């Protein structure tokens, strides 16, 4: 499925699978390596990004749910 969102101020559109995690998309498709894959269960914070200003664990957040939102790399 095709989704659109804003990544660090840049409008972005790409094809994702319905069961794909946002972490995979950010790293593989958008080469955003600062979002790290560590625990895989949303507790360590290495994969944290801001969606509409709220911190989320991208390793447990489905990529299709990012459609229409503003995503920024968490700097906390």
Tens digits of residue pLDDT in 19-50: 999 999 999 999 888 888 889 899 999 999 99
CATH homologous superfamily of 2-73: Beta-grasp domain (3.10.20.30)
pLDDT of residue 30: 92
pLDDT more than 90, % of the chain: 80
Taking only Cα atoms into account, the Rg of the chain, rounded to an integer number of angstroms, comes to: 11
Q: What are the domain boundaries of the chain?
A: 2-73
Of the candidates 20, 19, 3, 1, the one whose C-alpha atom is nearest the C-alpha of residue 11 is 3
Residue with tokens 């968490």: 74
pLDDT at 3 over 70: yes
What is the chain's length?
76
What is the C-alpha to C-alpha distance for residues 75 and 63, in angstroms, rounded to an integer? 20
pLDDT of residue 75: 61
Average pLDDT (4-8) is 96
pLDDT of residue 18: 97
Residues sharing a CB contact under 8 Å with residue 42, sequence separation 6 or more, in sequence order: 57, 59, 60
């Amino acid at each position: 499925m095709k989704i659109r969102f804003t990544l660090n101020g840049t409008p972005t559109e790409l094809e994702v699978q319905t069961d794909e995690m946002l972490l995979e998309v950010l790293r593989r498709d958008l080469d955003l390596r600062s979002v790290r894959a560590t625990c895989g269960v949303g507790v360590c914070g290495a994969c944290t990004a801001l969606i509409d200003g709220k911190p989320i664990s991208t390793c447990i957040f489905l990529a299709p749910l990012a459609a229409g939102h503003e995503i920024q790399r968490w700097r906390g």
